[in-house]
Amino acid sequence: MLGLTVSHYRITGKLGTGGMGVVYDADDLKLPRKVALKFLPDELAEDQDAVRRFAREADTIALLSHANICTIYDVDTHDGRQFIAMERIEGVTLKAILGREDLELARLVDIATQITAALGAAHAKGIVHRDIKPGNVMVTEDGRVKVLDFGLARQFRILGSGQEGLEGSTIPGRPLGTANYMAPERILQMPLDPRSDLFSLGVILYEMATGRLPFAGSSPSVTVTNILDREPEALTTLAPDRPAALDHVVTRLLAKRAADRYQSAEHLAEALARIQAPPSTLATRLLRRLRPAR
């Protein structure tokens, strides 16, 4: 599709391919800006369920306006194929960052706090992302975090009793998403609950802190069993230099029961704000700065 003009966008390159979309780099011919165009993969173009999910992604993102969520500009069709025109983000995925470096505590907390802010904005609009993972988080060159890919997102409604309830229906069969980051209630296909996104963020925090996934098994079925029945190895065992406050936050996020986790993104943000580097770590850094170069 290189060089093709789609609506008022000229495609200049391919950015990537995922299970639910092919994303192209493009120039906006009406405004002086770069955009990203997302199409359904060819093999899913005739899949009515995939088409519905794709349309729902556009509708969902359109409800959201937040600095930590990718902005949607337009939804249109080309040769019968729907596409989404969205913000072109200059940066790399958190997945790529984790594959090449260990994150210092301050940066880890900053990334987690920005993801939390994005989730708080979505939850406030009655939206559960359902696929929070490092591959769906972009980090720009100046450190701004952008949450992407709302293709599996669903809306929930707050009932008069104060309990969250499912709006619409789920698709029978296995739950959609990435097993390593799924909350137990997602695996069991229980009613939609925004706290499942917080569980997924807990998995990301554990991974950022230790370099390992808390529930990864030799197969997806083993991973699912681990999520439902087993506790992960203590974060402080794998990364003893990480503060106990971080371990406490992650442990609570990874609770099997949603009622035992932080009950909102706002509560999680407050807990993250209280995490500080241990004095020994701060002292070590100061000594490194004061020590004369050889």
Under 8 Å between Cβ of 195 and 183:
yes
Based on the fold, state whether residues 65 and 178 are members of the same structural domain: no
Q: Which two tokens stand for residue 83?
A: 């596409």
Instruction: With respect to residue 2, please indicate whether it lies within any of the assigned structural domains.
Output: no
Based on the fold, state whether residues 83 and 107 are members of the same structural domain: no
Based on the fold, state whether residues 205 and 236 are members of the same structural domain: yes
Instruction: With respect to residue 131, please indicate whether it lies within any of the assigned structural domains.
Output: yes
Based on the fold, state whether residues 63 and 162 are members of the same structural domain: no
Provide the annotated active-site residues. 131
Tell me which residue of 241, 233, 213, 288 sits closest to 105, measured CA to CA.
Answer: 241
Tell me which residue of 56, 186, 68 sits closest to 121, measured CA to CA.
Answer: 68
pLDDT of residue 47: 79
What's the domain count of the chain?
A: 2
Under 8 Å between Cβ of 227 and 257:
no
Based on the fold, state whether residues 226 and 125 are members of the same structural domain: yes
| Model confidence, pTM | 0.84
Based on the fold, state whether residues 74 and 131 are members of the same structural domain: no
Angle, helices 105-124/265-273, rounded to nearest 10 degrees:
160
**Domain stop point among 53, 72, 87:** 87
Q: Which two tokens stand for residue 170?
A: 């789920």
Q: What is the pLDDT of residues 132-141, one digit of tens each?
A: 999 999 999 8
Q: How many helices (H) and strands (E) does the chain have?
A: 10, 12
Instruction: With respect to residue 284, please indicate whether it lies within any of the assigned structural domains.
Output: no
Based on the fold, state whether residues 180 and 220 are members of the same structural domain: yes
**Domain stop point among 87, 106, 132:** 87
**Domain stop point among 87, 112, 128:** 87
Based on the fold, state whether residues 115 and 224 are members of the same structural domain: yes
Based on the fold, state whether residues 158 and 141 are members of the same structural domain: yes
CATH number of 74's domain: 3.30.200.20
Q: What is the pLDDT of residues 219-276, one digit of tens each?
A: 999 999 999 999 999 999 999 999 999 999 999 999 999 999 999 999 999 999 999 7
Based on the fold, state whether residues 68 and 124 are members of the same structural domain: no
> Helix (H, G, I), strand (E, B), or coil: what is residue 21?
strand
Based on the fold, state whether residues 51 and 193 are members of the same structural domain: no
Tell me which residue of 20, 18, 24 sits closest to 2, measured CA to CA.
Answer: 24
> Helix (H, G, I), strand (E, B), or coil: what is residue 242?
coil
pLDDT of residue 69: 94
Handedness of CA 134, 247, 211, 284 (dihedral sign): positive
Q: How far out from the chain centre does Cα 182 lie?
A: 12
Mean of all residue pLDDT scores within the chain = 86
Residues spanned by the domain of 48: 9-87
Q: What is the pLDDT of residues 22-68, one digit of tens each?
A: 899 999 999 999 999 998 877 777 778 778 878 777 788 888 889 99
Based on the fold, state whether residues 107 and 248 are members of the same structural domain: yes
